[in-house]
Structures are given as structure tokens and as C-alpha cells.
Amino acid sequence: MEDHRLAPGTAGLHMVAGLPLLRPEEQVFAAMLPCRWFTPVFEQASQRHDDIVFGKVDTEAQQELAAGFGIMSIPTLMIIRDNVVLYAQPGALPEPALEDLRGYRPEAAAYDLVVVAYVQLAPAERAGVLGGAAAALAPRGTLLVVGHDLANLAEGVGGPRDPAVPYTVEAIVAELDGLTIRRAGRVRRPVDTAAESGEAVDTLVLATRD
């Protein structure tokens, strides 16, 4: 399959033998488009960060790739590093959020449900993201945090190999001060891909603002 270059500074992602063709050292910000107003935002960000590969996928032309990543709606944004998906959410982001997710602060007390999924950052940066997520909760709102657990390094498959970025239940609970913890623990989920199979170990924390 040809690598179709869609715009300056962005790359078309493609597959070889059913796997995304990415070099291990690449950090990729991928968007499953179209979205008319978001496309210029995405392309401008790609021009500002030449150390990151920005890719766009035509989900109609590359259905196998979209299915492999579980894309159910467009646009969907993904961040991939070392062949691990660190962030994957449907919906377009405003430009400040796309520019740096770590500095994005959603509107305070505005959301009934906030999900932080697999945002694997160093503890200080993660605490800032979780603080913003907690502040965004409306009264009686729910926050779900899930990500690769530290135990995954020894007991699971996939996930980041840097021991500084996986979660622990205790650390995530401590960073959600002011919320009521409804559930906190490790969970296992099956992984079955062309590259590996087995179980991954995640931290899962469910909290509410009472």
C-alpha cells in the first residue's frame, strides 16, 4: 500500500502485514479524519512540531487500519509512542488542547463524566492532568481513570516500558484529593494482536464529586 502524503508536515499512515508501519522511535499523533474545522488546526500543529510524525487516515480507503485501532467514529485522535497507544479519544480538540494535552484545562465544574484513559506521563505532569480533570467535574459528576499499571512491566503485555510512567492505584487515589473514591484496584484485560497476546494489567479508579 502506498504512503499517501496528505499535506505538508503530515503523513499518511499505512499497514504492512496487518501492522502499522512505524519506526519504534517515532512519536505519532494520528487523526482519523475528516472534520472540516479541525483539519487546519491539526495541520498547523504538525508544522510547529517537526519532531513528531502527524498522520491522517482516510477510514474509508483504509478500513483495515481503522478496524485495527477500533475506530468507531470520526474524528478520532490518537497519540502513539514506541508502538503503544497513549491516548485515543473520538472528537476534535480545541487548538490549545492539541498543542499540549498536559497544559489543557477544561471548563471547571462543567462535565458529568470525565474519562482519563492511558495518559501515561511522569508523575508531576500526570498530577496536573488529573487535577484539571477533577476540577472539570460538576457536582455529582464521575471521573474514570484507567491506565497501564506498574505491575504490567513484570506481569502483563504491552504498555510503556519506562517504569516512571505506569500508574499505581495508591498514586492515582492520592492525586484525586477532594473526590470520593468509589472503586480503586488493578484489573486485567485480554490482549490479542498480531504482535502479542496475553493479559495486560491496568489501574482503574472511579471517583465522584459529592
What are the extents of the domains in the chain? 10-99, 101-208
pLDDT of residue 10: 40
pLDDT of residue 23: 41
pTM for the structure as a whole: 0.59
User: pLDDT of 168-179, one tens digit each?
Assistant: 999 999 999 999
Are 10-99 and 101-208 in the same CATH fold? no
User: pLDDT of 105-147, one tens digit each?
Assistant: 788 999 898 888 888 888 988 999 899 999 999 999 999 999 8
Quick check: 68 pLDDT over 70? yes
Domain 10-99 homologous superfamily, CATH: Glutaredoxin (3.40.30.10)
User: pLDDT of 17-40, one tens digit each?
Assistant: 333 333 434 444 444 444 565 677
What class is the 101-208 domain? alpha beta
Q: In DSSP terms, which residues pair with 198 in a beta bridge?
A: 191
pLDDT of residue 37: 59
